[in-house]
Structure 1
Amino acid sequence: MKTNILPAIRLTAVCVLFFGVFYTLAVWSVAQVVPGKGKGHTRIYNGKVQYMNVGQDFSEDRYFWSRPSATDYNAAGSGGSNHGPSNPAHLKEVEDRITHFLDHNPEVKRADLPAELVTASGSGLDPHLSVAAAQIQVKRIAKVRQVSEENLLKLIEKHTQKPLLGFLGPEYIHALELNYELDMLESI
């Protein structure tokens, strides 16, 4: 037993030093030289500091709505609802979101509604929308803001991020950046 205990204690001490001190210092040091100093990429938007890598709550008719969040956009509590697709509470929540969206977008058919606009992501913090999810909201925003649909479609096209290497992953749009520029257009 003595032959096993001493090596185990030494290994534990080495792991505590390496992972608890050296590795932590290395990660912290790298974070100090990147933009944001390890606190994330931020932007001041509507007088508040917004984190670019965390979904934001855009629910006014004048904005492109974000993907719903199971955590109320709280990065400290990241996670999904853990409800399965047949859970009655989940089904009611999704149905309520569908009804709310269709009430605010009467020209949209239920069958055309992208699932991402009524279901939360796994983390509850997804800051991105598909191109289809942004395009389906154009009529509502154009009407509220008195902007042409053509200008909004050009704005969506401008903010569309292409797949990595042209084929890895889907096209997507960062909702905060899109809404930020939408407000900039209005202020001109």
Structure 2
Amino acid sequence: MIGLRPAFSTMLFLLLLTGGVYPLLTTALGQWWFPWQANGSLIHKDNVIRGSALIGQSFTAAGYFHGRPSATADTPYNPLASGGSNLAASNPELDAQIQARVAALRAANPQASSAVPVELATASASGLDNNLTPGAAAWQIPAWRRLASFPLNRSRNWLQNIRTGRWRAFLGNRW
């Protein structure tokens, strides 16, 4: 009996610390230092939430860049159903999906001479990616430029200007 009191006291202390104090403290600090990010990096337009800067959206209309395909169930880019397709690389269904995506991308961009970038044909593990590599964006420039009536030299400069580099010079890919 004498050993139970310190054990229960320690358990109660750690429960309150890790289940109450720590979550409340990190939430308060997040709201104070990073309010936009702590609330999901939400994009507002006309006082209506249109989406999040962290979650990709389906752009299939002409004149838009096509993002990375979503692997979420039923509804594309659904954050509640986040996750990969769980199809093995040897699965014929995955191969058929990728071939269909490549055919659709080729039809939308017949001027592109190089191979379709991998990230435009394959979904990510989360199925919610919001960014493209510069190579995937550059591959789509001929079709986009034709529909948007944008000069080629200006579109290449535009692509160069909107690129994001490595965070703090060591995290992320070097584009």
Task: Measure the CA separation in 2 of the matches of 1:143 and 1:56.
Answer: 22
2:73 aligned with 1:69, yes or no? no
Q: Distance in 1 between matches of 2:172 and 2:28?
A: 32
1:84 aligns with 2:88: yes
Q: Does 1:133 align with 2:132?
A: no
1:82-109 CA-partner distances (Å, limit 9, x unpaired)? 2221122211111111111111111234
The answer on whether the counterparts of 1:58 and 1:66 sit within 8 Å (CA) in structure 2 is yes
Name the residue aligned to 1:107. Answer: 111
> Quick one: structure 1 residues 7 and 100, their matched pair in 2 at CA, closer, same or farther if it must change by over 3 Å?
farther
Summarize the Cα distance change of 1:6–1:79 in structure 2 as closer, same or farther, 3 Å threshold. Answer: farther
Q: Which residue of 2 aligns with 1:155?
A: 158
Q: Where has structure 1 moved over 6 Å in runs of 4 or more?
A: none
Q: What is the TM-score when the length of structure 1 is the normalising length?
A: 0.78
Aligned-residue RMSD, C-alpha? 2.4
Q: Give the whole-Å Cα distance in 2 for the aligned partners of 1:88 and 1:3.
A: 64
**Equivalent residue number for residue 98 of structure 2:** 94
- In the other structure, the counterpart of 1:60 is 61
Measured against aligned partners, the alpha-carbon deviations of 1:7-46 in whole angstroms (never above 9, x if no partner) come to: 5433332222111110110121012212327212232369
Residue identity opposite 2:100 in structure 1: D
> d(CA) in 1 for partners of 2:86 and 2:6?
42
Q: TM-score, normalised to structure 2's length?
A: 0.84
Following superposition of structure 1 onto structure 2, how do residues 158-177 of structure 1 map, counting pairs within 5 Å? 158-164=161-167, 166=169, 168-171=171-174
In structure 1, the partner of 2:20 is 21
Separation of aligned partners in 2, 1:166 and 1:17? 39
Report deviation, 1:5.
4.9
CA distances 1:25-76 after superposition (whole Å, capped 9, x unpaired): 0121012212327212232369752211111212222111111111221222
Q: Following TM superposition, by how much is the alpha carbon of 1:157 offset from its aligned partner in structure 2, in angstroms? A: 0.7
Indicate conservation of the 8 Å contact 2:112/2:142, yes or no: no
Check conservation: 2:42, 2:49, Cα contact below 8 A.
no
Q: Aligned AA for 1:142?
A: R
Structure 2: which 5+ residue stretches go unaligned? none
